[in-house]
Amino acid sequence: MPVRVAVDAVGGDDAPGVVVEGVLRALQGAAGRLRVALVGPAEMVRSVLEAQGGSESTEITVVDAPECIGMEETPAAALKGKPRSSIHVGVGAVRDGHADAFASAGNTGAVMAAATFVLGRLPGVLRPAIPGIFPTTGGSCLVVDVGANVDCKPEHLVQFARMGKVYAERVLGRPDPSVALLSVGEEPSKGNEAVKEAHERLRESDDIRFVGNVEGRDLLKHAADVCVCDGFTGNIVLKLAESVATVLPMLVRNEVIAQGLSADEAALVSRVLRGTMAPFESDNVGGLPLLGIAGAVMIGHGGSSAKAIEQMVLRAAEVVEEGVTARIAEALAGVAV
């Protein structure tokens, strides 16, 4: 049976154009395993859909949501004042069984608030978390949390480890993934009080292959399959990693000029650089799920391109197909926090 994904048609800096384009690309590459509902002001969305050569069909429909939540709006106020927003309606479609997942590149805080309020947390989940995928010398590393929770207690970090483990197993294809704590030193005595206590709890956990603390310099060397940290630290690491894709090419171009390389030599360097930087392109990831919510909710970057939207929608389908939500519930069931 095809996976049904409700997509926020007006979420993101360049919506609805890039959203519609990305959805059409996702449907083309999904080989019939996907159905999409574009959620937004119906007349506007249909107009954009038709302008891009699409039309409503069994694969793609338009669901009217006349209100939009801007990127700069306060989540709580927007959700209360705009009950017919694309985010509200899209998350509600998952709750009511009309969609299997919701995906948005819109206001992250509003998506998180709506998902938590409308769908609720899975039993036992203290706080939902957002994972981030980082390219490393040994494949990819999942970092949890990258922005949902600025302040965390030890029990939150331990739950992030369990939720991250499930995602790494089910979506990234890592059987029995290694799990580490991101800290200021490898020794168990390093880090703040929350990290030190979380280290003890993870070390004593029979269901997690805990490999200890890792430092930031080892993250991109694939120190572990899953690295756990609070959202404050994780978001800083995420934004620093994202800057690599723009800063490193600038530094290389400056050096090419300084070295006085020929056009052929510069072209060779450019080709190598493009291949090296490809894993750092956020478009290849698209979006990631809000872990711990009682339903599949994907969050994308506000500046998402059509390619990023395509990947977010396809990843939403993958999360549903792999039963990530149910697996997280199983992993947390009966486990003391």
For 105, the 3-state DSSP assignment is coil
Whole-angstrom distance, CA of residue 303 vs CA of residue 64: 23
Whole-angstrom distance, CA of residue 157 vs CA of residue 165: 12
Contact indicator for 95, 118 with CB cutoff of 8 Å: yes
Nearest C-alpha neighbor of 229 from the set 177, 170, 180: 180
Whole-angstrom distance, CA of residue 165 vs CA of residue 245: 27
Take residue 162 and report the two structure tokens written for it: 């369990």
Q: What is the radius of gyration, based on Cα positions, of the chain?
A: 21
Contact indicator for 209, 254 with CB cutoff of 8 Å: no
For 36, residues 6+ apart whose C-beta sits below 8 A from its C-beta are: 4, 5, 6, 7, 23, 26, 27, 59, 60, 61, 313
Which superfamily does 3-125+292-331 belong to?
Isopropylmalate Dehydrogenase (3.40.718.10)
Nearest C-alpha neighbor of 70 from the set 55, 86, 47, 59: 86
Contact indicator for 311, 285 with CB cutoff of 8 Å: yes
Whole-angstrom distance, CA of residue 324 vs CA of residue 163: 9
- The predicted pLDDT at position 336 comes to 59
For residue 289, say if its preceding peptide bond is cis, omega within 30 degrees of 0: no
- The predicted pLDDT at position 335 comes to 67
Contact indicator for 300, 104 with CB cutoff of 8 Å: yes
Query: 133 — phi, psi (to 5°)?
Result: -105, 125
Which superfamily does 127-282 belong to?
Isopropylmalate Dehydrogenase (3.40.718.10)
Q: Give whole-number Cα distances, 112 to 132, 144, 314, in Å.
A: 16, 15, 20
- The predicted pLDDT at position 138 comes to 86
Residue type, 113: A
- The predicted pLDDT at position 48 comes to 96
Residue 152 C-beta-side C-alpha neighbours within 13 Å? 32
Q: How many residues does the chain have?
A: 337
Whole-angstrom distance, CA of residue 337 vs CA of residue 71: 35
- The predicted pLDDT at position 337 comes to 60
Nearest C-alpha neighbor of 163 from the set 312, 319, 3, 280: 319
Q: Where in the chain is the domain with CATH 3.40.718.10?
A: 3-125+292-331, 127-282
Take residue 54 and report the two structure tokens written for it: 């699409």
Q: What is the DSSP code (8-state) at residue 293?
A: B
User: Mean pLDDT by 10-residue block, N- to C-terminus, for the chain (337 residues)?
Assistant: 95 93 93 94 96 91 94 82 93 97 94 93 93 89 92 96 94 93 93 95 94 94 95 92 86 93 92 83 81 95 91 94 92 72
What stretches of the chain show up as alpha helix (H) in DSSP? 17-29, 42-51, 75-81, 86-95, 108-114, 154-170, 193-203, 216-219, 231-259, 263-277, 306-321, 324-332
Q: Give whole-number Cα distances, 107 to 72, 75, 79, 91, 114, in Å.
A: 8, 8, 11, 13, 11
Residue type, 124: G
Take residue 168 and report the two structure tokens written for it: 């790494």
